[in-house]
Amino acid sequence: MTDSAPAASPAPRPSLRERFNALRNLPPFLRQIWATSPALTLATIGLRIVRAFLPIATLYVGKLIIDEAVRLVAAGNGFDSIAQAWHGGQLDTLFALLALEFALAIGSDLLGRAISYGDSLLSELFTNVTSVRLMEHAATLDLEDFEDPDLQDKLDRARRQTMGRMNLMSQLFGQVQDTITVFTFAAGLLVFAPWLIVLLAIALVPAFVGEAHFNALGYSLNFAWTPERRQLEYVRQMGASVETAKEVKIFNLHRFLIARYRELAEKFFRANRALARRRALWGTLLAALGTLGYYVAYAYIAWRTVKGDFSIGDLTFLAGSFLRLRQLLEGLLVGFSQVAGQALYLDDLFSFFAIEPEIVSPPHALSVPRPIARGFAFENVGFRYPDADKWALRGLDFELRVGEVLALVGENGAGKTTLVKLLARLYDPDEGRITLDGRDLREYDLDDLRGNVGVIFQDFVRYHLTAGENIGVGRIDAMDDAVRIREAARRAAADNVIENLPRGYDQLIGRRFKTGVDLSGGQWQKIAIARAYMRDAQVMILDEPTAALDARAEFEVFQRFKDLSRGKTAALISHRFSSVRMADRILVLEGGRLEASGTHEQLLAQGGRYAELFELQAAGYR
């Protein structure tokens, strides 16, 4: 992080064309909802259609009640008691109408609750299904994609859309319901005064335009602040995380982190507040035009009633219809603008799904040979990270033969880990090629290739799962194979660590959850090494696997590694020369190029960089 938090770079405000073009996201969005649960989708739509007719029915029954009450008053029956009126039958029509309005009110309430219930179920299912799809698609992307900050921003926005777009579903379905209701009210008004509808539409257009404008500004603000949002989340995690707690306390970092969080949060708050203030001011002014249109129409209806053209019931019905129609049309216009605005956010989700990986299996891909006969060969291999000026690796020519343990040594940044990533086809070379038994690595099935490679990187993941599951993730299809998990633990010398845990292999490890037991760095490392043995892969690679182990444990791990790698292809990366000297052959990398190759004794005799580094390390033990 930099010393000061930069303000978000302004994002271009989406044009009207872009906002309307974003509506193309609605059909695939609706298809996803339908695929989530056709039955629930049909149920919620069907209930909304039924409920759409209830407002006009309720209002019309209210008109009939008023007209009936006025008729009874005009008739001058003069009832002494309700019982007398009830038995005389004069109130039968009025009571029937009241009962009907009561039934409509209860029915509307029940339908509303049923719709909310269906929406909540469908929303939960959609969120789950979309989250799974997001994780599945992310799993197909290249490692290079995850190292791209722009894609990280896109992934962050897509992640938020899996949780935040289901109100769009309710809004779309609600729009359908309100549209049907609008037609029912409009039909009633057309009978009496068609020009009122034109007046209403003209009065509501300014509010619609204003809402569309501010929805676009809101999207631009959220888009522009995506990197800062990720910084906010990062600072929040750094300030309240078990992984960082020690350093935060020792270096008194909490004040620095809190100050950084406040600075970022305050800038985002000010930007949001400014937009909200403008939106509230203009929204009030534009909404007043709609209110003016309503009262013009209301005055007209009242005048016609005074003239005797409409009954009191008609006045109530027409005034109520116009008021509801105004509210519904305003809601539809504003809702359409909001739907178009939310459709812009769907771009974030669907554009993430549109990203295609470059590293894929070819058509008619080959299976990895079982067993591998000769091994791997690097033929003039070069690789450069995206947007990097310097080559990470260049001109590499060497073989990784079956049955030998190959060690890679070199200073930091020499390209050792990059070489391993190329071997596992996490990247593809930019120059040259890598072959397996004489065939280009790109000709093999990707899943089969990676399934035959067991790699433990120095920055291995500490899964907050049980000890057995931490090992089992090395081969998911054998997660329930307790015998295989125990054998992998034995090979990595992790069996003693696990057997001393309160619940053994069923013990949750890590401090994230309440029942978890934390491990030392060296114990975690043994668990991670067991994960590699779990694969029983033909190719075994250990990248700085013993950094947290003491000298005795390190010696034991490498002895086992050499014994268990017989007949397989094996490579290890280590800065400790006491480890690499046990390898059959050692490659010395410098600046991404192969500087020397040979056994420990041969490289010492050559007196090059390997001998220099060995002497520097050995001097520390004298």
Checking if the pLDDT of 7 tops 60, the result is no
Nearest residue to 231 via CA among 2, 459, 11: 2
Res 85: pLDDT: 62
Contact 34, 295 (CB under 8 A): no
Distances 275 to 216, 261, 343 between C-alpha atoms, Å? 11, 21, 20
Contact 466, 506 (CB under 8 A): yes
Give the model confidence (pLDDT) of 526-585 as tens digits: 888 888 788 777 888 887 766 556 666 666 667 667 766 777 788 888 777 767 777 888
Instruction: Quickly list DSSP for 562-612.
Output: HHHTTTSEEEEE-S-HHHHTTSSEEEEEETTEEEEEE-HHHHHHHTSHHHH
Res 607: pLDDT: 79
Res 161: pLDDT: 60
Res 621: pLDDT: 55
Bridge-partner residues for 596, per DSSP? Answer: 588
Give the model confidence (pLDDT) of 227-245 as tens digits: 776 777 777 766 666 556 6
Q: Which residue has the higher pLDDT, 394 or 248?
A: 394
Q: Where are the domains of the chain?
A: 16-353, 459-536
Q: Report pTM.
A: 0.61
Bridge-partner residues for 590, per DSSP? Answer: 593
CA 347/CA 29 separation, integer angstroms: 10
Share above pLDDT 70 across residues of the chain, in percent, rounded to a whole number: 73
Res 11: pLDDT: 46
CA 320/CA 308 separation, integer angstroms: 19
Distances 258 to 86, 236, 248, 263, 284 between C-alpha atoms, Å? 74, 8, 11, 9, 37
Q: What are 382's two structure tokens?
A: 């070069």
Bridge-partner residues for 214, per DSSP? Answer: none
- Long-range contacts: 134-140, Cβ < 8 Å, 24+? 134/158, 134/159, 134/162, 134/352, 137/352, 137/353, 137/355, 140/357
Mean pLDDT in residue range 55-72: 84
Q: Which residue has the higher pLDDT, 37 or 557?
A: 37
Contact 324, 303 (CB under 8 A): no
Q: Which residue has the higher pLDDT, 340 or 571?
A: 571
Mean pLDDT in residue range 296-323: 74
The three-point CA angle 353-355-359 to 5° equals 125
Give the model confidence (pLDDT) of 87-115 as tens digits: 666 777 888 888 998 999 999 999 989 99
CA 33/CA 307 separation, integer angstroms: 53
Nearest residue to 429 via CA among 365, 368, 387, 384: 384
The fold for domain 16-353 equals ABC transporter transmembrane region fold (1.20.1560)
Q: How many CB atoms neighbour CB 250 within 10 A?
A: 8
Res 106: pLDDT: 92
Nearest residue to 434 via CA among 426, 423, 445: 423
Distances 65 to 3, 102, 108 between C-alpha atoms, Å? 72, 12, 19
Q: Which CATH class is domain 459-536?
A: alpha beta
Lowest average pLDDT, out of 107-116, 436-445, 448-457, goes to: 448-457
Checking if the pLDDT of 215 tops 70, the result is no
CA 38/CA 308 separation, integer angstroms: 53
Distances 167 to 163, 291, 512 between C-alpha atoms, Å? 10, 27, 32
Counting every residue written for the chain, the total comes to 622
**Rounded mean pLDDT of the chain?**
77
> Which DSSP category does 205 fall into?
H
Give the model confidence (pLDDT) of 580-622 as tens digits: 777 888 888 888 888 888 888 888 888 777 788 777 766 655 5
Give the model confidence (pLDDT) of 495-518 as tens digits: 888 888 888 888 888 877 777 788
Res 288: pLDDT: 72
Contact 154, 351 (CB under 8 A): yes
Checking if the pLDDT of 5 tops 50, the result is no
Res 111: pLDDT: 92
Q: What are 238's two structure tokens?
A: 């750094």
Name every residue whose Cβ is closer than 8 Å to that of residue 473 and which is 6 or more positions away in sequence: 463, 465, 479, 531, 534
Res 242: pLDDT: 53
Contact 381, 393 (CB under 8 A): yes
Share above pLDDT 90 across residues of the chain, in percent, rounded to a whole number: 6
Checking if the pLDDT of 340 tops 90, the result is no
Taken in order 564, 541, 469, 125, the sign of the CA dihedral is: negative
Contact 589, 419 (CB under 8 A): yes
Contact 199, 329 (CB under 8 A): no
Bridge-partner residues for 543, per DSSP? Answer: 573
Contact 474, 532 (CB under 8 A): yes
Checking if the pLDDT of 219 tops 70, the result is no
Q: What are 308's two structure tokens?
A: 């005797």
CA atoms within 13 A on the CB side of 600: 13
Res 43: pLDDT: 92
Distances 251 to 256, 309, 542, 579 between C-alpha atoms, Å? 10, 84, 33, 34
Contact 431, 620 (CB under 8 A): no
Mean pLDDT in residue range 146-165: 66
Checking if the pLDDT of 361 tops 80, the result is yes
CA atoms within 13 A on the CB side of 5: 23
Q: What are 96's two structure tokens?
A: 């029937």
Tokens 């300014």 belong to 206
